[in-house]
Amino acid sequence: MKKSSQLTVVSAVICALALLASGCGSGGSSTDTEGAEQSSGDQASKNAVVSVHGCEPANPLIPSSAAESCGGQVVDAINSKLIRFDDQGKAHNDLASEIKGNDDMSQYKVTLADGRKFSDGTPITAKSFTRAWSWSANVSNGQLNASFFSNIKGFDDLQKQGVPTDAQFSGLKVIDDKTFTVDLISPSSTFPIQVGYTSFAPLPESFYKNPKAYGENPVSSGPYKFESWQHNVMIKLRRNDGYDGEVKVRNGGIDYKVYTDLGSAYSDVQAGNLDVIDRIPTSAVKTFMTDSMVQSYNKPGSTLQMFTIPTTMEHFGQDQEGHLRRLAISMAIDRKMLIDKVLGGLGVQPTDFTAPTIPGYTKDLKGSDNLRYNAKKAKEYWAKADAISKWPADKSFQLLYSSDGGAKDFYDGMANSIKNTLGIKAEASPVPTFSEFRGNIKKRLYNNVAFRSSWSPDYPSPESYLMSNFASSAADGNGSNDGDYKNSKFDALLKQAAKAKDTDEANRLFQQAEEILLQDMPAVPLYYGNNIGASAKKVHGMRLGWDGYPIFPELSKDQ
Amino acid sequence: MGKYLLRRILQMIPVVLGTTLLIYALVFALPGDPVAAMFGDKPVNQAVAAQIRSEYNLDKPFIVQYVLFLKNALTLNFGNTFAGQPVISVIGRAFPVTIKLALMAFVFEGVFGVIFGIIGGLTKGKWSDNIILVLSLLLISVPTFVTGFILQYLFGVKWHLLPATAGANPGFIDLLMPAVVLGSVSMASIIRLTRTEITSNISEDYVRTARAKGMSNRSVIVRHVLRNSLIPVVTYLGADIGGLMGGAMITERIFNIQGVGNTLYQAILRGEGTLVVSIVTILVLIFVITSLLVDLLYAVLDPRIRYA
């Protein structure tokens, strides 16, 4: 999951000032970026290099090291994968010409497309994948994303202490230059989607001679090739003219300019010194839509904001009383009011446990009413639960969040909403830093309070949300199921979906599984966070994809 | 004098050892696990985490980690950051920028602070003194990020007179606005300090004596009043150098300057003990050396002070 704990201490204080200052700057109308995109072309130069807000990668530029977005978006832009996702999050073949599963989706045969090459001129073969995946999963190579390969047969052998760094997966077999097979530990119908994640990119033979040097100067298989990385200053990518795939590139390259602070990057977009920013600083969130100095972008995104109520919490267990209370709490939160008043409308009311940019998202699940504000029903459910076992009058419903993520206003408002609707004590309490907050969750120290959780998917499938957050296999510290929710019916549906013949069938099963969640409410969805960004006036085609990154190849700009 | 210098230099050793130990202990005591944080919200692969911990000696007890750090530091090997870059090259990138910025701010606050302070002190009670008084009080009371943000918006974004941010390899023009912002609060303090010293010294007996001897007004002011008035100012400026180097974090963030303050801040967030301690050690050295220089300067300004 790509969740950064954006630090907003300074910018939050500046916020009030920003409002004052922008009084002089605003007044223009917001610009529709999609309209601008269509009218591009004439003046926009095909070779213009577009500068984009970036940050210093915390890891080398190796696919399996990219665990955060600073390096992640660069690595993603230079590497083609077996498949690629379009702007709707839909999968298309890229380096693969076919990924074919057997009857129960436990073995896949991958056939590669013809003629694709790395930027160093060597061809992309079956071995480019099998060797890369083995290296990435191998514990001796210490790769942060090693767990992505945990469903491939032979993973456990690669996790033993002291395994040679060049040991290979027993579950990957090269048939010929263009074909290889993958044996999975448990069936997975979403495997052909998962391989679209950056970690599954192929690596050229030159990589293994010196992975460290490669991490500073990577070879490319995608629409962009790497040009230079001046640490803490800039990463330059240029259009890869040897690229033979289907993505059309409308610019000459991308410069990722490293910024110390989101606020200074936004100032540079206003001043015309930076072309694209893929997030908006807290100081400008309320003003960027009407800022006449920039083109604004604001569309529903893929991040689901929730709070988890652990199953260990008193009166909130997975029993009848607990279910009633969970539903009552969910219906006691006036999400629409909070989204409008606190978030300035930069969010969407939830109807399920995925997000609007994900294939498989729907508004029509049975029980989606449970995510709507309904004071009458909330009180009724709470009273029914009280009849089973009384909630002590002096007991407070506590909501924890980390105060460096800018969630304070929302959580205070939410506590108020619960307090006023149910007539119980409720309070939101901050934890100083994101890393302390996450650390305590991992240690299960918050077993009697509700706590903030959010999820950005690794691949555009409901599975990334459901499996990671709510499956029994991800509970007890084995995944991100931090509330240790366990429901065998839910698990069975996920298993069935894993064996499904096609994506549509799988998504139908995922939706059935979500209907269980809507009754059990292991975590309470609050809103889908919008993808927000801005671009300078002379830029065309600024759009943010399903993953919240700009769709780099579509950017162009007037010379 | 030589003996005095030697003693002061030897004193630095326990100071540096003490501070590094203290800082190392503080970073060690920070809540949160830096290796687990690398995985973000993804489940931590324990085998991989163990591999990374042993690579950075994080699996060893605190005191062993500290001794290993000291041992390597003596051979100028400060190890690697979590991103795999040598700490020494990170420092090598951050300090030149900050030194440039700090020197510009230092010159700005020193020159303008003393000049306006003298004008205020010599024209005590007149309109020029009052204007300087009001402006300096304003600068002292407004926090740096407010001045920074306003100047950036007006000069950088609205009027396009100066670069809104400094960015990569900043030159004089890029750093002009940040340096003014960074030096403004200290400048105001120096104005106040100089003005007060001058107004009190100007009515001293030795000034009256000098005038009685028929000395020109100019030499009375420059040779007697100013020289005596500058001692506290020099002390202040000396102490401020260290502050300008390490405390420029807010200015660096507003103007996108990849300097020491920001590097240190990021390192603390990531829990990178070696990087934090290495930077702080250098800052401590700068503090110690400037305070030594200040002490030596006293002797130049005041002939009564002698170091044996």
ipTM for the assembly: 0.83
- Residue in A closest to B90 by C-alpha: A231
Q: B269-290: b or e for each residue (b if 16 or more CB lie within 10 Å)?
A: bbbbbbbbbbbbbbbbebbbbb
SS3 letters across A353-369 = CCCCCCCCCCCCCCCHH
Q: Is residue A268 a contact partner of residue A45, using CB atoms and an 8 Å limit?
A: no
- Chain B residues lying within 8 Å of A143, measured CB to CB: 48
- Nearest CB among A230, A261, A477 relative to B168 is that of A230
Q: What is the DSSP letter of A484?
A: -
**Residue A354 token pair:** 């995925």
Cα A469 from Cα A523, distance rounded (Å): 9
pLDDT, residue B256, reads 92
Contact assignment for A273 to B43 by CB distance below 8 Å: no
Query: Phi and psi at residue B286, in whole multiples of 5°?
Result: -60, -45
Cα–Cα distance measured from residue A553 to residue B107, given in angstroms and rounded to the nearest whole number: 47
Q: How far is A140 from chain B (nearest CA, A)?
A: 7
B159/chain A closest Cα distance in angstroms: 9
Contact criterion met (CB < 8 Å) for B51 and A140? yes
Closest to B179 (Cα-Cα) out of B244, B252, B106, B105: B105
Query: Which residues are bridge partners to A111 per DSSP?
Result: A98, A179
Residue of chain A whose alpha carbon sits nearest to that of B33: A439
**Shortest CB distance from A267 goes to which of B43, B164, B252?**
B164
- Interstrand relation of A107-112 and A172-176 (parallel, antiparallel or unpaired): unpaired
The answer to whether A452 and A411 are in contact (CB under 8 A) is: yes
Judge whether A16 and A275 are in contact, CB under 8 Å.
no
Closest among A36, A191, A64 to A534, alpha carbons compared: A36
Identity of residue A145 = N
Write out the H or E segment, with its range, that includes residue A103: none
Note the pLDDT of residue A26.
32
Cβ of A268 and B83 within 8 Å? Answer: no
> What amino acid occupies position A522?
P
Residues of A in contact with B84 (CB under 8 A): 59-60, 212, 215
| Closest partner CB to B258 (pick from A260, A267, A438) | A260
Q: Which of A108, A114, A115 is nearest to A130 (CA)?
A: A108
Confidence at residue A404, expressed as pLDDT on a 0 to 100 scale: 78
Nearest by CB: A13 against B145, B167, B258: B145
User: Along chain B (308 residues), what's the average pLDDT of each consecutive run of 10 residues?
Assistant: 84 87 86 77 80 85 87 83 85 91 94 94 92 93 91 92 87 93 93 94 90 90 88 88 81 91 86 86 86 84 73
DSSP string, B100-163: HHHHHHHHHHHHHHHHHHHHHHHTTTSHHHHHHHHHHHHHHHS-HHHHHHHHIIIIIIIS-SS-
Inspect the interface and report whether the beta carbons of A56 and B83 lie closer than 8 Å. Answer: yes
Question: For residues B250 and A221, what is the distance between their CA atoms, to the nearest angstrom?
Answer: 40
Smallest Cα distance from B191 to chain A, Å: 28
pLDDT for res A285: 87
The SS3 of residue A117 is: strand
CA distance A485 to A317: 10
Residues B169, B257: Cα–Cα separation, whole Å = 9
Nearest CB neighbour to B31, from listed A18, A258, A436:
A436
Which amino acid appears at position B155 of this protein?
A: F
Interchain CB distance below 8 Å, A142 and B149: no
**Residues in chain A, pLDDT under 70:** 1-44
Q: How far apart are CA B131 and CA B129, in angstroms?
A: 6
> Are the beta carbons of A438 and B150 separated by less than 8 Å?
no
| Contact status, residue A55 vs residue A259, Cβ threshold 8 Å | yes
Candidate from B43, B51, B263 with C-beta closest to A142:
B51
Nearest to A300 by CA among A25, A45, A88, A521: A88
Q: Which residues of A touch B146 (CB under 8 A)?
A: 17
Q: In terms of residues, how long is chain B? A: 308
* DSSP annotation string for A485-525: ---HHHHHHHHHHHT-SSHHHHHHHHHHHHHHHHHH-SEEE
Residue of B nearest to A137 (CA): B48
Per-residue pLDDT, A43: 56
Strand partners, A99: A110
> So what's the pLDDT on residue A44?
65
- Tokens 């210098």 correspond to B5
pLDDT for B79: 82
Number of residues in chain A: 559
Q: Output B46-54 pairs: Cβ under 8 A, ≥24 positions apart.
A: B47/A139, B47/A146, B47/A159, B47/A161, B48/A139, B48/A142, B48/A143, B48/A144, B48/A146, B48/A147, B51/A139, B51/A140, B51/A142, B52/A142
Beta strands A49-54 and A107-112 are: unpaired
- DSSP assignment of A37-91: HHT-SSSEETTPEEEEEE---SS-S-GGG--SHHHHHHHHHH---SEEE-TTS-E
Q: Which residues of B54-82 are buried (b: 16+ CB within 10 A; e: fewer)?
A: eebebeeeeeebbeebeeebeeeebbbbb
Q: Does the domain formed by B90-261 have CATH 1.10.1380.10? A: no
Strands A556-558 and A347-348, by their bridges, are unpaired
Chain B residues inside the 8 Å CB shell of A24: 158
Closest C-alpha to B5, from B283, B240, B295:
B295
Look up residue B148 and give its two tokens.
Answer: 């920074």
Separation between Cα atoms, residue A435 and residue B268, nearest integer Å: 12
For residue A266 the two structure tokens come to 């936004």
For residue B187, the SS3 value is helix
Contacts of B39 in chain A (CB under 8 A): 67, 144
Cβ atoms of residues B224 and B90 within 8 Å:
no
Whether A554 and A541 have beta carbons less than 8 Å apart is answered as: yes
Nearest to B160 among A260, A264, A271 (CB): A271
From B34, B47, B266, residue closest to A159, measured CB to CB: B47
Which residues in chain B are contacts of A267 at CB distance < 8 A? 152-153, 156-157, 164-165
List of chain B residues whose C-beta atoms are within 8 Å of the C-beta of residue A10: 145, 250, 253
Give the H/E segment covering residue B98. helix B87-122
Burial class (CB in 10 A: 0-12, 13-18, 19+), A128: buried
- Alpha-carbon gap: B256 to the closest alpha carbon of chain A (Å): 5
Choose the closest CB to B165 out of A2, A140, A273.
A273
Q: Which residues of A touch B93 (CB under 8 A)?
A: 231-232
pLDDT in the model for residue B118: 93
Provide the pLDDT for residue A165.
92
* Range list of β-strands (E), B36-87: none
Q: State the DSSP code for A29.
A: P
pTM, two decimals, is 0.84
Cβ contact, residue pair B48, A59, below 8 Å: no
Which residues of chain B make contact with A270, given a CB cutoff of 8 A?
Answer: 157, 164
Place of tokens 């030096």: B183
> With an 8 Å Cβ cutoff, are B262 and A260 in contact?
yes
CB contact under 8 A, B256 and A268: yes
Contact flag A438-B41 (C-beta cutoff 8 Å): yes
Q: How far is CA B58 from CA A72, A118, B17, B241, in A?
A: 25, 37, 21, 34
Would you call A439 and B33 a contact, using CB atoms and an 8 Å cutoff?
Answer: yes
Q: Which of A7, A268, A438 sits opposite B165 (nearest CB)?
A: A268
* Contact (CB<8Å) A264/B145: no
Closest CA to A170 of A195, A194, A149, A147: A149
Beta bridge partners of A93: A83
Angle subtended at Cα A302 by Cα A414 and Cα A509, rounded to the nearest 5 degrees: 100
CB contact under 8 A, A442 and B44: yes
- Beta bridge mates, A495: none
Q: Which residue in this structure is represented by tokens 């298989």?
A: A221
